[in-house]
Structure 1
């Protein structure tokens, strides 16, 4: 299930945005509604509930298991790949409803941002862009240029708070360096926000709005 902000007029483009660990799609649907573009539909799916190792095996909405948050931590490879397949199925669903994949921006925050990056790099569908907020690149050591088929030239907006205590800024910096090795570096934008913790801020939301409007311009009917 997803929280959906419908387009104000005929939807000719879509944004699929994945929330962070322990959250639901509702909060981000509200945030997207505040920066909406009339011809764009916003889809904010809810993650399944599962036990999360990082949080003492408590069950909560999570796209995949997180063992811990240091850079060398073991990763839930099968869970990440399974979650990416469900994201690609969501993209296919929009394509079936008449929105071509190159008119879809994929995005997410924290764990959702990590999944949006991994899904875009491994998708066969050509996407319009990725918005990766306060996140990291999962399975980065097993990802190589050879994996990326359709999205070598994808535009990426990566954003990070400079005071993030949960996913430190260095994660964002290392991720952007890795992405620049795998993708066309001139299409990657990395923005940091002074004083911002593991959250969003109005300035970041305006940057997201501008990125979406640039990647998903209206189609002249």
Structure 2
């Protein structure tokens, strides 16, 4: 099931996975970026969760002078509007849909699959999870934003998917106002949203890891 485009971490307890978290990294990183997070969560050994950590393709990124780097889509303007290449965003969301399909084909119920993403990966996670045609277990949006106001075509199957949004109050890359705006947009569309902030920049912190672990245990326990 694993190939060069994704890192797959099977349950540490040697059990066959019966749940899955697909976690998308941010701009300029790769799937290994969040590999240390998995053991740091300290999840109960009774859980049998497979973590799928995909690697973004190399793309020229306009805001970085056109330099190719791992990116889920091109960012055309670095401002509060954050104009992006919507076609690339949707293509990345479709790739996530294919990863979900593969987990379902491997025997995991779609309702036991969580989509998560950090920063640019979180924008793709919003797009992918809310538009997927089968019910999912949850959406975890970390230090991220809605990439475009109108691109997401909500799927009826996920109208009640739980959305957990985390953001740093001192984030210099993605201002906290954008994280809050994304949570409010999802809430306005009728999704059950929990919004949490932490005293940190564009990163993760130990308190947050504990909240993520509890949320995943509630969703997939």
Query: 5+ unaligned residues in a row in structure 1: which ranges?
Result: none
For residues 149 and 65 of structure 1, what CA distance do their matches in structure 2 show?
29
Deviations 1:15-64 (A, max 9, x none): 00000000011121221132244311111111011111111111110011
The equivalent residue for 1:201 is 205
Query: 5+ unaligned residues in a row in structure 2: which ranges?
Result: none
TM-score, structure 1 as length reference: 0.92
The equivalent residue for 1:181 is 188
Q: Secondary structure at the match of 1:150?
A: helix
For residues 119 and 27 of structure 1, what CA distance do their matches in structure 2 show?
20
RMSD: 1.3
The equivalent residue for 1:51 is 60
Structure 2 counterparts to residues 113-152 of structure 1, below 5 A: 113-143=122-152, 147-152=154-159
Deviations 1:102-122 (A, max 9, x none): 110000100001110111111
1:211 deviates by 0.6
Structure 2 counterparts to residues 21-100 of structure 1, below 5 A: 21-35=27-41, 36-37=43-44, 38-100=47-109
Moved over 6 A (4+): none
Q: Is the 8 A contact 1:18 1:44 kept in 2?
A: yes
TM-score, structure 2 as length reference: 0.92
Q: Is the 8 A contact 2:82 2:147 kept in 1?
A: no
Structure 2 counterparts to residues 162-173 of structure 1, below 5 A: 162-173=169-180
**Number of aligned residues:** 212
Is 1:5 paired with 2:9?
Answer: yes
Q: Is the 8 A contact 1:154 1:183 kept in 2?
A: no
For residues 99 and 7 of structure 2, what CA distance do their matches in structure 1 show?
13
1:148 deviates by 2.9
For residues 74 and 81 of structure 2, what CA distance do their matches in structure 1 show?
15
Alignment CA distance shift 1:24-1:142 (3 Å): closer
